[in-house]
A and B are shown apart, each in its own frame.
Chain A
Amino acid sequence: MIVELGHYALVLAFALTLVQCVLPLWGALSGDDRLMAVAPPVSVMLFVLVLISFVALTVAYLNSDFSVLNVLQNSHSAKPLIYKFTGVWGNHEGSMLLWVLILVFFGALVGFFGGNLPKDLKAATLSVQAWVSAGFILFLLATSNPFERVAGPPLEGADLNPILQDIGLAIHPPLLYIGYVGFSITFSFAVAALLLGRTDAAWARWVRPWTLLAWCFLTLGIAMGSYWAYYELGWGGWWFWDPVENASFMPWIAGTALLHSAIVMEKREALKIWTVLLAIFTFSLSLLGTFLVRSGVLTSVHAFATDPARGVFILVLLCIFIGGSLSLYAWRAPMLKQGGLFAPISREGGLVLNNLFLTAACAAVFVGTLYPLALDAITGEKISVGAPFFNLTFGPLMVPLLMAIPFGPVLSWKRGDLHAASQRLYAAFGLALLFALVTFWLWGMEKVLAPMGVGLAVWVMAGAVSEIVTRVKFFEIGPKRGFSRLVGLPGSAWGTVVAHFGVGVTVLGIVTASAFQEERIETMRPGDSIELSGYEVTFDGAAPRRGPNYTEEVGHFTIRKAGAYVAELDPSKRVYTARQMPTTEAGIHTTGFSQLYLSLGESRGDGAVDVRVYYKPLITLIWIGCVIMSLGAVFSMADRRLRVGAPKPAARRKAVQTAAAE
């Protein structure tokens, strides 16, 4: 019954989106207040309806209702409760329902909190958001109905893919989707601006916090996905340049460019046309990512099932939304007025440079991801574009960008002075040089690129810190006043510093973990030891163990450093009973920011087992840096200047009122 209710709510939501598609937009274009007033309540109702439908599916999962096809194919009664819950989106239909839920959630947020938006902009934005929602709800209902029943249900389900039975599934998809789908709202804002033919400062101030919000979650989602793959797949890698990863990385790069160009637009009214285009591109890349991941053109753990009808449906949606918005752009963009002038050496100039490199890097990733697919479709030739391609294209494009990062915030708007700006960065440069030289001195010619990478990372981190220190003249005015000035800086200034610092931290992690990683692969018998980076790893033996829905063979290892006990690790090989599918559970020991990573191969029968041991120096910095970056976005969002029409201080409002009364 509750399942049918969920299905019904979804159908109702589809009908409502059709209303929302037309009426508010009509009102916005014809200036009819009553029609525009339809949008906010409907946007909230849409969210409530899709939520009901999502809850209905969740209930079916929690009750292990195997008469629902989706539950039957992806769940098992012996599965731990948490995975029954997260299993809701661990399959194609459920994950698309989550996608739609977040889509209408963002619409509802604008409907609910957009009180001080211009009325017509709000109505048009919600209409555009409803077009996207209508498309995807129809996709669910027509090709991927999660509520389909089966006649004569079996007693037991087919279980969830064991790789997905992990706490990562509770965190990674929702975070990623909030980011991914969150860009839909900037897309809707951009299309609404084009439809209405104007972008004003209020528009820019509205777009930036939404971009920041989506970007913040996308950053966390990608980082979480990377860490999950790192510890779950047992290959010890944290980024594979897999097309599925690129599918989420491309919107991230475009979104990063967007949030920088939105600053120029907000502060200086320049780059309007470009910002609108970037907003369209960013969400288009999200849609493209959804297509790549969900249509089954790629073989991956993310492609739950391949059904040609679904691929074609998403492709059609993709063409309509991307083609439609770009045509609208070509038609209406010339109407938008271009804003302020600036010299090439200026804050604006720096942000333009950022956008240039980011879009070029995004294009490189785009080519590398889609070229094999296109080549296969056209000539039938099978190629693979792997890490070497991306290291050779993406890497060199990032280097000048990273070098330029510290300069951006110290340049002034409109017309900057590169010489004066450099003077503020001497200390950061000195520090970076010092670290690079020390690295070179320690490792010499053996690793030539590493000192440059370390220097670059330190340069970015120190540059971020020195910007803010010299800005408040911390050392000139003494620490006490300097400290209070630091606290008093606006949120967006802190956001810049923190986010840029995070970039440096991530770069440092990437450089050290790739350049100084040590790896050993050995066949070990009980009692054998391996030496690696000063650690002694001893294999004590293996023993079987039973879990709730799996059995495993656990290897026991003791780690010592210079004879002293450090830790014990228990990596294992699991076999999940329902699917008879094996998985590898790595054993990870974290010391400081570095990790010792152990994974087991198949046992050889006579007690011997293949073991792979890595020492990965400072690897956790990669993900810590991402968390710091999203923290920067939080700081920036907290900036009260971003809240349009923030209530004026009471005293001033009173003064205005009395003035008006007189």
Chain B
Amino acid sequence: MTRKQRRLTLIGSAGAVLAIALGLILFALNDQIVFFQSPTDITQKTMPAGQRIRLGGLVEEGSVEKSDNAQVSFRVTDMANAVAVTYKGILPDLFREGQGVVTEGVIGPNGVFVADSVLAKHDENYMPKEVAEALKDQGHWQGGEGEAN
């Protein structure tokens, strides 16, 4: 093999691997990312059924209902609109009524959001960033800039 051929093999294989990586990344970005939506977004826009979304807002006061088999239902609100959510599983430690929450899942046929993951804040000082901004959009944010304490 000549020097030139060797170099071409190297460049060729590097190009091939990078092309595969790029292809995978583009494909996954197209397919696997999840958009963040506020309750207002969900009530106003029509989402394609079965599309995964992240829903964030405050847990509406007095809306949390627990039934057997670890089933929970609650409403997520941005003070303008609210969306009903059901979830089977254990809620995070910092999940409380009136506090920020981010849930991920799909909207069921009856308009109820079926969540398969529920995230609350890591500690009591933080509001999930997306939630803080969604609330600001609705003019219901009372905390300081970015930080709540």
Contact = CB atoms under 8 A, between A and B. Distances in A.
Contact of B28 (A361, A389, A582, A611): A389
B35 A382 contact: yes
A159 to B, nearest CB: 11
Interface stretch (A185-193, A295-303, A327-335, A444-452): A295-303
Contacts of A612: 70, 89-90
Interface stretch (B78-86, B107-115, B124-132): B124-132
B17 interface: yes
A356 B32 contact: no
A521 B90 contact: yes
A361 B21 contact: yes
Given A299-B126, A383-B36, A360 B69 contact: no
Contacts of A522: 69-70
A475 B4 CA distance: 42
A397 B89 contact: no
A431 interface: no
Nearest to B128: A299
Given A341-B6, A393-B25, A385 B13 contact: no
Contact of B68 (A296, A393, A523): A523
A99 to B, nearest CB: 21
Contact of A163 (B6, B68, B123, B147): B123
Contacts of A300: 122
Nearest to A343: B1
Interface residues of B, number: 45
Contacts of B70: 521-523, 601, 610-612
Interface in B23-39: 24-25, 27-29, 31-36
Contacts of B128: 299
B71 to A, nearest CB: 8
B89 A360 contact: no
Nearest to A573: B93
Contacts of B6: 341-344
Interface stretch (A15-23, A211-219, A363-371, A533-541): A363-371
B129 A299 contact: yes
B13 A364 contact: no
Contacts of B24: 364, 392-393, 396-397
B101 to A, nearest CB: 13
B69 A523 contact: yes
A183 interface: no
A344 B10 contact: yes
Which DSSP category, helix, strand, loop or mixed, fits chain A's interface? mixed
B3 interface: yes
B25 A367 contact: yes
A161 B93 CA distance: 13
B34 A386 contact: yes
B33 A389 contact: yes
Interface residues of A, number: 56
Interface string B115-146: 00000011110101110010000000000001
Contacts of B21: 360-361, 363-364, 393, 397
A112 to B, nearest CB: 40
Nearest to B126: A299
A382 B36 contact: yes
A305 B10 contact: no
A361 B124 CA distance: 36
Most buried by B among A234, A386, A610: A610
A383 B10 CA distance: 37
B91 interface: yes
Nearest to A299: B129
A389 B29 contact: yes
A382 B68 CA distance: 34
A584 interface: yes
A574 B18 CA distance: 48
B33 A383 contact: yes
Nearest to A387: B32
B47 interface: no
A371 B28 CA distance: 12
Interface string A588-607: 00000000000111101000
B17 A356 contact: yes
A357 B19 CA distance: 11
A584 B24 CA distance: 37
A393 B14 CA distance: 17
29 contacts: A161-B122, A163-B122, A299-B126, A301-B123, A306-B146, A344-B1, A356-B18, A360-B18, A364-B21, A368-B25, A382-B54, A383-B33, A383-B36, A384-B36, A384-B104, A385-B34, A386-B32, A386-B104, A392-B27, A392-B31, A393-B21, A396-B24, A397-B24, A521-B90, A522-B69, A573-B93, A579-B124, A601-B91, A612-B70
A-B residue pairs, 8 tightest by C-beta: A382-B36, A360-B21, A601-B90, A388-B32, A301-B122, A392-B28, A389-B32, A582-B93
Given A367-B29, A521-B69, 12 more contacts: A161-B122, A301-B123, A353-B13, A364-B24, A382-B35, A383-B34, A386-B104, A393-B25, A580-B124, A581-B123, A599-B90, A610-B70
